[in-house]
Structure 1
Amino acid sequence: MSPHQWSRDLAMGVRFAVTGGREGWIRMTLTAVGVGLGVALLLLCSAMPNVFASRAKVSDARFANVWSQAVPPRADNTLLVAAADTTWHDDGIMGRLVEPEGAQAPLPPGLGRFPAQGEMVVSPALKDLLESDDAKLLRERLPYRITGTIGESGLIGPHELVYYAGTSGMEPTPDKVARLTEYGIPDTKPEKPDPVLLLLTLVTFVVLLTPVVVFIAAAVRFGGERRDRRLAALRLVGSDSRMTRRIAAGEALAGALLGLVAGAGFFLLGRRQLGTGELLGVSVWPSHLDPAPVLAALVAVLVPVAAVLVTLLAMRGVVVEPLGVVRAAKQRPRRLWWRLLPSSAGLAMLYPMIDQGRKNGEFNQYLVIGGVLMLLIGITALLPWSVEAVVVRLGKGWLSWQLAVRRLQMSSATAARMVNGIAVAVAGAIALQMLFTGTQKYYTEDTGQDPSRVQMQVDFSDPEPLSGIEREFSGTKGVRAAVALAGAAYGDARRNPENVGSLTVGDCTALREIAVLPSCEEGDVFVMRAGSHSEGSVSASESALLRQGRGLYIDPSFDGPPGAGTSRGIEIPWTVPANVRTVDPRKDSLEDVNGVLATPGALPERARSALSSDGVYLRLDSSVPDAREYVRNVAARIDPLAKVFGWTATEEDAKYTAIRTGLFVGSAFVLALIGASLLVSQLEQLRDRRKLLSALVAFGTRRRTLGLSVLWQTALPVGLGLALATGVGVTLGTVLLKMIRTPVTVDWVGILTMTGVGAAVVGVVTLLSLPPLVRLMRPTGLRTE
């Protein structure tokens, strides 16, 4: 067959679709909407590389190594910057205090000028937040006058909360205040990717994209039955079967091309709307959502090609004769053996990587993508066989049940095609849920903190403890109790002592949070019992230092170059008092690093200048809604650079959390596509059965019976599809876990949740299709022009 004949027949099909009257336009519109939704999501995915690159570029451009030990000399091009991050409820706010030391100081990205002392430049989202009525406590915490907003080049998203405040009098200190000559991240050797995180990323992308491709393939077949009956007229005027199939492919091509245009429109509309919204704490600039040219071109080419190939493949099972379409005749049962091949091929691709683990190099990306894709695509091959094998054995029941079963027996392929996408999505979600559950332990660290004892901790930038600092917090609304601890070193000589130890200083209330004290008064000193389980317990040699009347020195000096840490101490003499008692540490001690405990009255007055703050620990009243915000306000008033954080039992790896958040965001878009596509498919099937429904109503069938029959027609394939998806999803999840040498655990609660979400989407679509169903069940639907 010559290319000219192909192009002529395809063009004829396009012409029939465009000039086919009202029915042709409705059919092509439905196809265009279904394809367009899928194309819009594919274009969104093709823009993800640019989104990640743009966000990383902004993040790197505004990087300031506040924790660097290297400090350049003061010059005309230096800037002092300190991190003053805070939190408002559950939203993090990036804050920086800046002090230019010369006219050539580097300007942070997105700023037109430096804010003066008492002023700040904020992101648009933070400005809106500060101007809202419920942000009174946040305005008290940031008592600066807003003089401008940060531009797009300094923000990773439109809803990011950022501010730069001007200050004066800062001095560069390690870990607190940095002196910069330029912004930006230094050129460093790229970090070797974690194989498991890379595997999670690859599987996530395949799982999110496969349902989209399945829906596009189903959308190009909308209105297939009506089209096939109409093509019978072409046989009467001399068209052969091959030419008829090519003309049908041309009609599908027209719908796909219109779907490309609609998809581009949906994408542009969604691109603009994404700039005004936020999903799971993630926001994106519309300018970042630029599809990669190569990927966009690939979508533009593959969608029409897929439409032609899918139509030609579907037409192989249909015989279009001059007097009608042979579709309703009894067909031989579908064969199972070849439908198992895609799943078997997927398992064969993944099998070589089983037991590779996390430390044996990266997983083969092509085998991972191919294996997961083939396993998921295998569902679309198995589901039609499963539906046919089950419905052929059904029959007896209510009238609505019999109508539904008979319809499914006549067109089980159509029902399976509608459910394919949801089954693929659920199977992928189950596999990912198993993979995330199995790998969570690798990326979750036990902090050793007990949130039931302490809810918040405040660490100040100035290591010198403030007298009575705990009282500042004890009187704060929402704080039930506050304790402050400080620490220092001691030795048996002024300089270069042979024996050294450490002590923790606090009042009796604070010391009781560390050890079991029989009694405590101001001036008491305690020693952790030697050989106790605590890491801070003293050794036998250290216990010998603490004999009554022994002369020691707090903060002794050590030889070393000037500026090398704290080599020059204050060297404060201290005589061990007579009332030293040995105590046991608490099992739930706040700190496990200091073996000697002392009240402030047991130390010389000068020793307070040698102490360094270990922080303030707070217990909160859970009945006060904004207790944490009141604490943050007090800490910011005392020290703008204070770090305030809540205690958590565990802490997750940031990259792992980012991948999981990306999965949730992508799943939200895919679920929206699933719902919209299912609704369009349901409406198309109802429209195709309009005359049949009207005839049944005209003969006295109750509308309730017909409505229940439509519900059964949806519920049966969905139930079979979800059962098949569960089996494939568990199989895929098991293989992925074995690839990383992780024990296989099946979270049935999570699996039931995934299947329940899929069933809920179908249920909502069915409810939305009931009003059109009622309108179609009118006797006037029998009218024919």
Structure 2
Amino acid sequence: MSARRWAADLGMGFRFAFTGGREGWTRALLTAVGVGLGVALLLLTTAIPTALAVRHEREAARTDITFTDDRPAKGDDTLIVANVDTDFREETVRGRALEVEGPRAPLPPGVDRFPAPGEMMVSPALKELLESDSGTLLRKRLPERISGTIAESGLIGSQELAFFRGADDLAPHIDSGRIVRIDHFGDPDPVPADADPVLLLLVLVVFVVLLMPVAVFIAAAVRFGGERRDRRLAALRLVGSDGRMTRRIAAGEAMAGAVLGLLFGAGFFMIGRQLAGTAEVYDISVFPSYLNPSPVLALLVAVAVPAAAVLVTLFALRGVVIEPLGVVRTAKPARRRLWWRLLLPVAGLAMLYPMVGQGRDGGDFNQYLVTGGVVLLLIGVTALLPWIVETVVARLGSGGVAWQLAVRRLQLSSGTAARMVNGIAVAVAGAIALQMLFSGVDGDYTKSTGKDVAQAQMEVSLPSEVRVPDAAAKFRDTPGVRAVFSYSEGYAGDRRTDAENSTMLTVGDCASLREIATLSSCDDGDVFAVRGAEWDAGVDVMALAKPGRTMYLDPSYEGGPKGLELPWKVPSGVKEAAPRKGLLAGIDRGGFLITPKALPDSLAPALDGHAYLRLDESVPDVHEQVRNTAAAVDPLAYPMVWAATERTDRFEAIRTGLFVGAACVLALIGASLLVSQLEQLRERRKLLSSLVAFGTRRRTLSLSVLWQTAIPIALGLVLATAVGLTLGAVLLKMTNTRVSVDWSGVLAMTGIGAAVVLVVTLCSLPPLLRLMRPEGLRTE
């Protein structure tokens, strides 16, 4: 067969799609919408790497506080930057206080001038929040006058909350770790993160799992209206076309819908691209300009989708006999064969098996074997589901009228029913496998903070010039604060420079000191030495506590910044104390414990304050109240909410990416299922009208439609659970992790899939009721 003959036949089918009257146009539009939704998500997916790269570049370009000893001296081109980040409810607010030291000080990206003290420049999202009623508490914390907005070049997302404010007198705090002097913004030598084979495996599997349902839906969309199309093709046999030519014409008609779907997809993508600038999903937002698909990947989508439409149509028609007088499809079809359907998942498992037990020590996982194995396992769902639906519905017994209508319809067209739920089944299978993998390796990327959240729920770091007792009193007066344990902390060495032995020095009242050590008795004016603390391993604190011995607070060390080197003579009458492990700061504090009356005023500059707060978390916005009090105590005070555990940033980023992608895929699943359901109802409107004309109740027909959806989806979810558990177990074995099943997570994944189908079914009821009218029998 020549290429010219193929082109001519495909072109004829292409023309039929748009010249077949309302019926042809309706089918082409339905196909275009279904394909377009999938294409839009594919384009969005191809744009994600670019968006992430742009976000990373923006973040790197505005980097200011880095851990380095190479700091510039004060000059006409230097700027002091203080990290004054804060949180508001569940969102992080990026904040920087700026003190200009010279006329050539570097401007931060996104602003054209420095804010003066008492002014601040904010992101558009933060400005909107501060001007709204919901931002009242945050406005108390950020009282500066808004003098401008931060442009896109200074933000990593359209919904990012960020501000720059003017400041002065930051120089004395430069070595605090959160305040630095810089002469430029940006990190010219970023340290690349070490590649973790398990994290790379997670990223790879996430992309495959998210894209597979999209491909399945596109394949299903090009078959919309297949039965009506095949009956129209029978007419071509009457005018002389043979079976092969008829199939090529049908493929051309499907290709027309796919090409129109590409145009729809581009339009949907542009709409979604603009909407993305106003949305935030799991704390991730982007600007529309970030979402630019890779030209190569976009071209691949443009070629692959029409080609897939042709191949899927030819494959679907392989068992259909189109004769001049009709289509031989209404007769009892041959039973589907099982053996070749089982080969797909078996082949997938065979591709993954060589990597079982590899773990982190065996290097990177083979990306081609991983991709191929996961794809074959998920495609196995689409191959097995039609056989399972056909086998089960053939054995279903009698029941009510609605049940019989549904079962008979499924027995006649089980393939159509399976196609509708294939995407859901693939998505749920992939989600279960990913949920198992994430749960299994979660412990490797989650570590304990060592903080006792039963003792305190928040901690506030205070600058050295803040009087800790005064700050503690203000926190006690804050609504929702039950108790405050406050300390001043520093380090003492036995030498002014390069101390041979050093230990911790903690100042607090007796109630606070009893939270961190076991004291026999305590009065204001006492000094204690803690014996046997893990913190002081290798240091004999009791020897350092010899009366009259001179210790130096904040000693200097070679290669480090110069300390204050303040002398302190150990008083007589030092009492011995025992450590209490794990309370408050998560360590068994050692060293010296000093009550306020025993602290010489000269030592205050060497100590930093900390307040640990026990909260009544039933009080509304108690965390915001504490943060506002901290800002009132000192703008550089830094409040933190305690958590028992914390996750690795990269692992958390992958989890967030999965949630964002899953949200998009679920939206696609719902929209595509609704289009598919409406197409099925449209094809059956005359049958529905006939049943209503003969007296069938609408309630019975509505229930039959519900059963027709519920039976395949139930079978699909059972199959998806089995495949998902199998894939999840294999992935865990590959990472050398103990296989365990979080059944609550599995039920949640299947429940979400069922809920999407239920919502789609409910949305299709109004059109169904409109179709169930005797007038639907009217024809021309």
Range class of TM-score, shorter chain: over 0.9
Distance change (3 Å), C-alpha of 1:234 and 1:619: same
CA separation in 2, counterparts of 1:497 and 1:158?
50
Distance change (3 Å), C-alpha of 1:664 and 1:490: closer
Q: Secondary structure at the match of 2:570?
A: strand
Report the equivalent of 1:109: 109
For structure 2, the 5+ residue unaligned runs are none
Task: Report the AA paired with residue 654 of structure 1.
Answer: D
| 8 Å Cα contact 1:499/1:542 also seen in 2 | no
Distance change (3 Å), C-alpha of 1:499 and 1:652: closer
Q: Which moved more, 1:200-209 or 1:615-624?
A: 615-624
Task: Report the AA paired with residue 219 of structure 1.
Answer: A
Report the equivalent of 2:232: 230
Alignment of 1:466-505 (within 5 A): 466-489=468-491, 501-505=503-507
The CA deviation string for residues 368-390 of structure 1, in whole angstroms up to 9 with x for no partner, is 11111111011111111111111
1:777 to 748, 772, 778: 772
| 8 Å Cα contact 1:495/1:556 also seen in 2 | no
Task: Report the AA paired with residue 710 of structure 1.
Answer: V
1:434 to 420, 433, 436: 436
Deviation at 1:490, TM superposition (A): 5.0
Alignment of 1:693-704 (within 5 A): 693-704=688-699
Deviation at 1:537, TM superposition (A): 6.6
Task: Report the AA paired with residue 405 of structure 2.
Answer: L
RMSD: 2.1
Kindly indicate whether residue 180 of structure 2 is the aligned counterpart of residue 178 of structure 1: yes
Task: Report the AA paired with residue 568 of structure 2.
Answer: I
Report the equivalent of 1:551: 548
CA separation in 2, counterparts of 1:469 and 1:185?
36
Alignment of 1:123-202 (within 5 A): 123-171=123-171, 172-173=174-175, 175-202=177-204
CA separation in 1, counterparts of 2:773 and 2:427?
36
Q: Secondary structure at the match of 1:752?
A: helix
Deviation at 1:497, TM superposition (A): 7.2
Report the equivalent of 2:630: 635
Deviation at 1:476, TM superposition (A): 2.1
Report the equivalent of 1:653: 648
| 8 Å Cα contact 1:39/1:260 also seen in 2 | yes
The CA deviation string for residues 240-285 of structure 1, in whole angstroms up to 9 with x for no partner, is 0000000100110111111111111111111111112222222110
| 8 Å Cα contact 1:67/1:174 also seen in 2 | no
Alignment of 1:360-509 (within 5 A): 360-462=362-464, 466-489=468-491, 501-509=503-511
Report the equivalent of 2:541: 542
| 8 Å Cα contact 2:71/2:181 also seen in 1 | yes
Distance change (3 Å), C-alpha of 1:572 and 1:212: same
Distance change (3 Å), C-alpha of 1:558 and 1:77: closer
Q: Which moved more, 1:226-235 or 1:399-408?
A: 399-408
Task: Report the AA paired with residue 371 of structure 1.
Answer: G
Distance change (3 Å), C-alpha of 1:559 and 1:212: closer
Deviation at 1:583, TM superposition (A): 4.1
CA separation in 2, counterparts of 1:363 and 1:244?
46
| 8 Å Cα contact 2:541/2:591 also seen in 1 | no
CA separation in 2, counterparts of 1:434 and 1:496?
51
Distance change (3 Å), C-alpha of 1:96 and 1:540: closer
CA separation in 1, counterparts of 2:126 and 2:495?
54
Deviation at 1:85, TM superposition (A): 0.6
CA separation in 2, counterparts of 1:492 and 1:36?
73
Deviation at 1:634, TM superposition (A): 2.1
Report the equivalent of 1:338: 340
2:329 to 319, 327, 330: 327
| 8 Å Cα contact 2:78/2:104 also seen in 1 | yes
Deviation at 1:428, TM superposition (A): 0.4
Task: Report the AA paired with residue 97 of structure 1.
Answer: A
CA separation in 1, counterparts of 2:748 and 2:573?
64
| 8 Å Cα contact 1:66/1:83 also seen in 2 | no
Q: Secondary structure at the match of 1:316?
A: helix
Distance change (3 Å), C-alpha of 1:745 and 1:2: same
Report the equivalent of 2:590: 594
| 8 Å Cα contact 1:516/1:585 also seen in 2 | yes
| 8 Å Cα contact 1:79/1:102 also seen in 2 | yes
Task: Report the AA paired with residue 772 of structure 1.
Answer: P
The CA deviation string for residues 669-722 of structure 1, in whole angstroms up to 9 with x for no partner, is 111111111111111111111111122222222222211111111111111100
Distance change (3 Å), C-alpha of 1:559 and 1:303: closer
2:743 to 748, 752, 764: 748
The CA deviation string for residues 275-325 of structure 1, in whole angstroms up to 9 with x for no partner, is 122222221101111111111111111000000110011111100001110
Task: Report the AA paired with residue 510 of structure 2.
Answer: C
CA separation in 2, counterparts of 1:346 and 1:495?
64
Report the equivalent of 2:658: 663
Task: Report the AA paired with residue 589 of structure 2.
Answer: V
Q: Which moved more, 1:60-69 or 1:344-353?
A: 60-69
Distance change (3 Å), C-alpha of 1:525 and 1:197: same
Q: Secondary structure at the match of 1:457?
A: strand
CA separation in 1, counterparts of 2:645 and 2:427?
31
| 8 Å Cα contact 1:697/1:778 also seen in 2 | yes
CA separation in 1, counterparts of 2:96 and 2:397?
71
Deviation at 1:608, TM superposition (A): 3.9
Alignment of 1:258-269 (within 5 A): 258-269=260-271
Distance change (3 Å), C-alpha of 1:61 and 1:540: closer
Report the equivalent of 2:9: 9
The CA deviation string for residues 483-526 of structure 1, in whole angstroms up to 9 with x for no partner, is 21123455677788766544322111111111233432112233
CA separation in 1, counterparts of 2:580 and 2:195?
42
Distance change (3 Å), C-alpha of 1:503 and 1:169: closer
User: Structure 1 length normalisation: TM-score?
Assistant: 0.95
Report the equivalent of 2:729: 734
Q: Secondary structure at the match of 2:112?
A: coil
| 8 Å Cα contact 2:65/2:179 also seen in 1 | no
Q: Which moved more, 1:37-46 or 1:59-68?
A: 59-68
Q: Secondary structure at the match of 1:214?
A: helix
Q: Secondary structure at the match of 1:210?
A: helix
2:258 to 256, 273, 284: 256
Task: Report the AA paired with residue 783 of structure 1.
Answer: R
Task: Report the AA paired with residue 348 of structure 1.
Answer: A
CA separation in 2, counterparts of 1:223 and 1:359?
52
Deviation at 1:581, TM superposition (A): 4.3
Q: Secondary structure at the match of 2:372?
A: helix
Task: Report the AA paired with residue 511 of structure 1.
Answer: L
Task: Report the AA paired with residue 748 of structure 2.
Answer: T
Q: Secondary structure at the match of 2:566?
A: coil
Distance change (3 Å), C-alpha of 1:717 and 1:695: same
Task: Report the AA paired with residue 617 of structure 2.
Answer: S
| 8 Å Cα contact 1:525/1:598 also seen in 2 | yes
Report the equivalent of 1:572: 568
CA separation in 2, counterparts of 1:3 and 1:694?
45
Distance change (3 Å), C-alpha of 1:498 and 1:271: closer
How many equivalent residue pairs? Answer: 777
2:312 to 296, 310, 334: 310
Q: Percent identity?
A: 60
Deviation at 1:556, TM superposition (A): 6.3
Distance change (3 Å), C-alpha of 1:246 and 1:122: same
Q: Secondary structure at the match of 1:173?
A: helix
